[in-house]
Amino acid sequence: LLFLIICQCAINSVNTHHVSNPNVILLMADDLGIGDLGCYGNRTLRTPNIDRLAEEGVTLTQHIAASPLCTPSRAAFLTGRYPIRSGMAAFSRVGVFLFSASSGGLPSEEITFSELLKQRGYATALIGKWHLGMNCESSNDFCHHPLSHGFDYFYGLTVTNFRDCKPGQGSVFLKGAQKSLVIPIQIAGITLVSLAIAQYIGLLKVPFQALGYCLLITAISLAVLIFFFYHFRHLNCFLMRDHQIIQQPLCYENLTQRLTKEAVQFIGRNTDTPFLLVLSYLHVHTALYASKNFRGKSKHGLYGDAVEEMDWSVGQVLDVLEKYNLSNNTLVYFTSDQGAHVEEISSSGEVHGGYNGIYKGGKSMNWEGGIRVPGLLRWPGVIQAGAYMDEPTSNMDIFPTIVKLAEAQLPSDRIIDGHDLMPLLQGKVTRSKHEFLFHYCNAYLNAVRWHPGNSESVWKVFFFTPNFSPEDSNGCYDSHVCFCHGGFITWHDPPLLYDLSRDPEEKVPLTPETESRFHEILRVIQLAVDKHTRSLQAVPDQLSWNNLLWKPWLQPCCSSLLQSCYCD
C-alpha cells in the first residue's frame, strides 16, 4: 500500500509539472496560405513535419490573424491585443514598416508574453523576422528592438524580407515610387522652368537667391531619393545578432539553415531550464529563396521549394526536442502572420504567392483568405492528438495561453483581447470565448464576426470591401496590395452579411429576403461595435508618416556609408 501511495504521489507530481512551466516554441511563417499545407488539404506540396504537428496535436480550422498585414498582426500576437490599442495600426495608406531607420515601433508601454515569461525565469529568444521597429531617437538606442521587449537573444532581421533585398527579384517600391513621385517631380520641374523663363523675359521678378534655393532643395531631395533607393539593399537588408549587425547586406545562401541552426543551438543550451523560442521564418514572403537541396524539387516552382524548405526546418526543431527528451514538456505552435499574398507574381510571370484554399482574397484583406491562417498546437499527453476544432480562435490567444501556463500574472491595467486556449485544447469546453472578433483594415474597422453562444452560425458583416483590380479577379493586382480607404474601397449600407458556417467562401451576401433575422443580426453586431469602440483609448500613431519615413540619423550601419555599410 505504501508503495502504491508513493507511486501515485510521483505520478501526480509529474502531471503537475507537466502542465505548468512548459517549454514554448512558437513557429510563425510569413504570408503562408492555409491551403499550402497537407494538413489543410494540399495534395501537391510536401509538408510532412508540419502535418505531424496536426497528427499529434490540435488543428484549428477557424484560426484568425488579428490583422491581414505583417506589422499589426505580429504586434497583436506578442501583446494579445488588437493593434489599434497599441498604435500599431495605420491611418495612412502604408500599414507596415518599410525602413530600418524609421522611428516607429512597438511601444515600450506594451507588455509582451516574452517579458512576462522572462520574469518567470524563462530563457527567451527570437530568431528570424521582427518587423516591429528598432530605434527611436538615435541609431543605437534600440527602443523597439526585440531585446527591449523581453527577449534575451535575437538573431534575425529587424524589418522584413523584401524583393529589393535580393538582386534580380525586382522592387516593391518601383511602381509606387513611379506613381507617387513622377507627377510631383514634373510639376516642380515645370514650375522652376516657368519661373526662370518669366524672370528672363521680365514678366515676373523672382529673387535670384530664392530661385537658387528652390533649385538646390529640389536637387538635394532628388539626390537623397536616388541614393536611398540605389543603396536600399545595403541600408535595410541586414542580419543582426542581439544589437550587432553581423551581415550587411543580407545574403540568402543557406539562410534557412542558419536560422534553424540558431534555433537548435538555443534549445540545446536550455535543456535544463524552461525556454520560449519564437522562430519567425522569412519564408514565404518575397523575395523567395531556397537552398540548393530544395531548389527545383517541388511541384510549385520556387514558392513550393520555399514551403518545403521551411517544413524541413520545422522537422529539425521537432527532432532536437526528441533528442533531448523535451517533446512531452514542450508546447509547439505553428501559424502564419496572415494569408497568402495572391498578387505576388514575378517579373517573369511566375506565381510567387501562396494558396488560400477555398477562401476569398488574401494578404491585406479581411476576406477569409487574408485572415484565416494555419493554427496547429502540439503538446503530447496534455492536449488532444489528431483533433479538429472549428471554433473561432485568434493569434492573440497565444498571449494569455502561454502566460497562464508559465504561471505568470496577466496584466490587470489593460484590456487583453485574447483568451486562454487550454480549456478548448484539452476538451474541457467546446465553445470559443470569442463571441465577437473585430477585423481591422489598418486602423479602420472593416468587418465583424459574431458566433452566438446558442447557434452554430458564424455571422460576418463587412462595412466596406476593397475594389479588386481587375474587377473580376481575386485581388488588387494593379496596386500589388489592397488599400483601406478613399477610392480603393466601396462602402456598404446596409453592411454585407454572410453566414460563414454555410458560406465559408463568402460568395453570396445575405439579404432581408434570404435571412429573416437580417436586421436583428446587424443590430446586435452594431451594439458590439459600439461597446468595442468605447473600450479604445487614444494612443500615439506608430505608423504615422513621421514614424514611417527614413531618417538618416537612425540608420544602422556596421561599417560606414563610404563603405556602403558592408560587413560579413
CB 77 within 8 A of CB 57: no
Residue 434 is among the residues annotated as catalytic for this protein: no
The per-residue pLDDT for 188 is: 72
The per-residue pLDDT for 170 is: 80
- Whether pLDDT at 423 is above 90: yes
Residue 349 pLDDT level (bands cut at 50, 70, 90):
confident
The per-residue pLDDT for 6 is: 41
The per-residue pLDDT for 203 is: 76
- Quote the CA–CA distance of 195 and 186 in Å, as a whole number: 14
The per-residue pLDDT for 208 is: 67
Amino acid in the structure at residue 189: G
Secondary structure, 3-state, 330-350: EEEEEEECCCCCCCCECCCCC
DSSP letters, 291-341, are: -TTTTT-SSSHHHHHHHHHHHHHHHHHHHHHHHTT-GGGEEEEEEESS---
Residue 131 is among the residues annotated as catalytic for this protein: yes
CA geometry: angle 133, 137, 139, nearest 5 deg? 70
477-490 residue pLDDT tens: 999 999 999 999 99
Catalytic residue among 39, 63, 70, 165: 70
Residue 17 pLDDT level (bands cut at 50, 70, 90):
very low
Mean pLDDT of all residues belonging to the chain: 92
- Whether pLDDT at 179 is above 70: no
Residue 183 pLDDT level (bands cut at 50, 70, 90):
low
Question: Which three cell numbers mark 138?
Answer: 538615435
96-119 residue pLDDT tens: 999 999 999 999 999 999 999 999
Q: How far is CA 476 from the centre of its chain?
A: 19
Catalytic residue among 7, 18, 39, 131: 131
Mention the CATH class of domain 172-233.
mainly alpha
Determine the topology of domain 23-161+237-548 in CATH. Answer: Alkaline Phosphatase, subunit A (3.40.720)
Map out the domains of the chain as residue ranges: 23-161+237-548, 172-233
